[in-house]
Amino acid sequence: MVILYTITIQKTMNFHTRKWIKPEDLNPNGSLFGGSLLKWIDEEAAIYAIIQLDNQKVVTKYISEINFVSSAIQGDIIEMGMEVVAFGRTSLTLRCHVRNKITRMSILSIEKLVFVNLDQEGVPAPHGKREVSYIKDRFEAEK
Ligand SMILES: CC(C)(COP(=O)(O)OP(=O)(O)OC[C@H]1O[C@@H](n2cnc3c(N)ncnc32)[C@H](O)[C@@H]1OP(=O)(O)O)[C@@H](O)C(=O)NCCC(=O)NCCS
């Protein structure tokens, strides 16, 4: 069941970042510390939002419930996938999936991570984006 979910999710998500689980990433039980994983997810999602909104002043507004369905141990390799759920007026909503490349198990999914686009004063500002774009395409458009 878990493995099937991993396979179906692959088609729409962009898995950009992998992490190699090291001793400093473990909790006292010897498995991946959830706090480390959440920090990586927040950063990965923020980078995704910054690139999509083309603005470095973006903040995390809301993260929906997190269900850790399996874990990782030292030496495992995990990868984090992001996809856009919705472009709002000032916000961008992402979905995240993390999976273990070694065990082929899902680690967690987060249905909603909401980022808000800010102006120079730190006030929510319309971002004007409506669809996903890729940096590669932007470079090619500038040639
Ligand atoms: C981000 C912040 C400026 C937004 O302020 P705000 O008064 O809630 O702003 P708004 O009510 O205009 O909402 C901004 C957007 O967030 C969305 N939003 C607000 N609360 C939300 C919630 N609980 N869930 C989902 N989306 C939400 C709104 O729908 C709006 O999106 P839209 O313009 O696309 O419709 C303010 O809440 C803040 O500074 N929060 C702290 C952020 C932070 O420190 N993050 C951690 C470090 S990065």
| Ligand 1 center–CA 123 separation, angstroms | 10
Q: Which CATH number goes with the domain that contains 50?
A: 3.10.129.10
* Short-list 54, 50, 53, 100, CA closest to 73: 100
Distance of CA 54 from the midpoint of ligand 1 (Å)? 18
For 29-80, write each residue's pLDDT tens digit: 999 999 999 999 999 999 999 999 999 999 999 999 999 999 999 999 999 9
Higher pLDDT, 116 or 139: 116
Helices within the chain (DSSP H only):
2-9, 34-53, 135-142
Residue 126 alpha carbon, nearest atom of ligand 1: 33
Integer Rg of the chain from CA: 16
Q: Is the CB of 91 under 6 A from ligand 1?
A: yes
Q: Is 2 a residue whose pLDDT tops 50? A: no
pLDDT in the model for residue 130:
95
What is the distance between the alpha carbons of residues 108 and 6, in angstroms, rounded to a whole number?
A: 10
Domain count, the chain: 1
Q: How far is the CA of 49 from the centre of ligand 1 (A)?
A: 14
Would you say the CB of residue 90 lies under 6 angstroms from ligand 1? yes
Q: Note whether 106 and 6 are within 8 A (CB).
A: yes
Ligand 1 and 94: CB distance under 6 A: no
Domain span at 105: 2-142
pLDDT, position 24: 98
Q: Distance from the CA of 2 to the center of ligand 1, in angstroms?
A: 33
Residue-level pLDDT at 9 = 54
Determine the Cα–Cα distance for residues 136 and 14; give it in Å rounded to an integer: 14
Ligand 1 pocket, residue 117 CB under 6 Å: no
User: CB-side exposure of 135: number of CA atoms within 13 Å?
Assistant: 8
- Among 3-7, 19-23, 74-78, 96-100, which stretch is predicted with the lowest mean pLDDT? 3-7
Of 93, 116, 121, the one to substitute when testing ligand 1's pocket (max ligand atoms within 8 A of C-beta) is 116
Average pLDDT over residues 15-23: 96
DSSP assignment letter at 22: -
Compute the average pLDDT of residues 94-105: 97
- For the chain, the first-to-last Cα distance in angstroms comes to 46
109-136 pLDDT, tens digit per residue, is: 999 999 999 999 999 999 999 999 877 6
